[in-house]
Amino acid sequence: MAGMGIEDRHHLAPFGTGGTARWGERVTGAVVGSAVGDALGAPFEFGLPGVYSGRFPDGVGTMCGGGGWDPGEATDDTQMAVLVADSLLERGGLEPADIFRRFQRWAVSDPKDIGLQTEDVLTNGEPWDRAAALHFQVNRRAAGNGSLMRATTAAVYFAKAGREATMAAARRIAALTHGDAAAWEGTAIYHDLIRAALTGADPLSAVPDALAAVHPDHRARWSTVLAPDWHPDDATEFNGAVWPCLGSALWALRTTDSFERALGAAIDLGGDTDTVAAVTGGLAGACYGLPSIPARWTTPLHVPLPGFGDRVLRAAELGALARKLGAGSGT
């Protein structure tokens, strides 16, 4: 990337009306791309920066498995995203109580990974519309990336409804497990950037309009991490927090010119690698489209769904799910 300005780099990507990816390729790219990022990053969770590029000097890598994960196995990020998708499609719209019930059924079925806060909110016995708020009242810390990580499916579903509606839906789904409005706003921004990317726009150019729709109390902090000159080294929290997670995903998108390299850059940051890569993969997949995701990543991809029988989604099923989500009116 040396010697290339941000603007120059942009024009290498298939953004805008001259792009090659069509709507169907973008919606499938977003959903499959997020799952691929999740599975690719999972073996590197909580590692240091540079571990990924040390193992894969090409910066791209393979679905290697490790840390308890089989090669290509998607984690809680994608599992919860599928639960959201199933609810939206089966209920024909947003029914927060139904999503919460699905989350609960999954949470008590021994998933390999579940966020600490998410687990507490889903198992504390409080009703769906109070559990996260009560948790936040007691703990005062609820700005993890756990609502952002699962947002791609809903972002695809609500894209056609426009900015205001998709951001409103994002906040409501985020609030099921996260009581801190910083997480709601970050998830809302992500929804709007996915919406922009699915229309063929450059999500990086869409950041100012999304920020303008953020709650004023949270706008300054989000503006900082989404600024074009922000670098993951500037983060003031671990990237398991919502701000540096989304900031890092945009940085990965901004500083690379392909789906593969965006994911490699995201995972090489270390830390919460599955989630940073899941968020990066959703955005990059929406930009570059499904054909940009290599078969050596999609072939081993699989998403178990604890609590929902033996159902395991492979890339083809995720693609079909994405097309149904993208076909809806998003109401």
Query: Quick check: 180 binds Mg ion (CB under 5 A)?
Result: no
CB of 187 to Mg ion, least distance (A): 16
Tell me the residue type at 4.
M
Query: Quick check: 34 binds Mg ion (CB under 5 A)?
Result: no
By CB under 5 A, name the one of 73, 77, 185, 260 that touches Mg ion.
77
Query: Quick check: 147 binds Mg ion (CB under 5 A)?
Result: no
* Consecutive H or E run containing 304: strand 302-304
By CB under 5 A, name the one of 274, 292, 305, 321 that touches Mg ion.
274
By CB under 5 A, name the one of 15, 31, 61, 75 that touches Mg ion.
75
What is the distance between the alpha carbons of residues 125 and 131, in angstroms, rounded to a whole number? 8
- Residue closer to Mg ion (CB basis): 73 or 257: 73
Long-range contacts formed by 161-165: CB under 8 A, 24+ apart: 161/329, 161/330, 161/331, 162/195, 163/192, 163/195, 163/209, 163/210, 163/213, 164/213, 165/330, 165/331
CB of 272 to Mg ion, least distance (A): 8
- Residue closer to Mg ion (CB basis): 77 or 202: 77
Q: Which stretch binds Mg ion (CB under 5 A): 72-80, 89-97, 183-191, 262-270?
A: 72-80
CB of 79 to Mg ion, least distance (A): 8
What is the distance between the alpha carbons of residues 330 and 167, in angstroms, rounded to a whole number? 12
Instruction: For residue 138, give the DSSP letter.
Output: H
CB of 116 to Mg ion, least distance (A): 12
Query: Quick check: 76 binds Mg ion (CB under 5 A)?
Result: yes
Query: Quick check: 78 binds Mg ion (CB under 5 A)?
Result: no
Site string for Mg ion, 106-145 (x = CB under 5 A): -------x--------------------------------
Kindly identify the residues of this chain, within the stretch 186-245, that bind Mg ion according to CB under 5 A.
none
End-to-end CA distance of the chain: 41
The length of the chain is 331
Q: What are phi and psi of 203, to 5 degrees?
A: -60, -25
CB of 117 to Mg ion, least distance (A): 13
CA dihedral sign of residues 52, 54, 60, 66: negative
Query: What are the angstrom distances between the C-alpha of 145 and each of 102, 208, 311?
Result: 19, 21, 26
Residues that bind Mg ion (CB under 5 A): 75-77, 113, 274
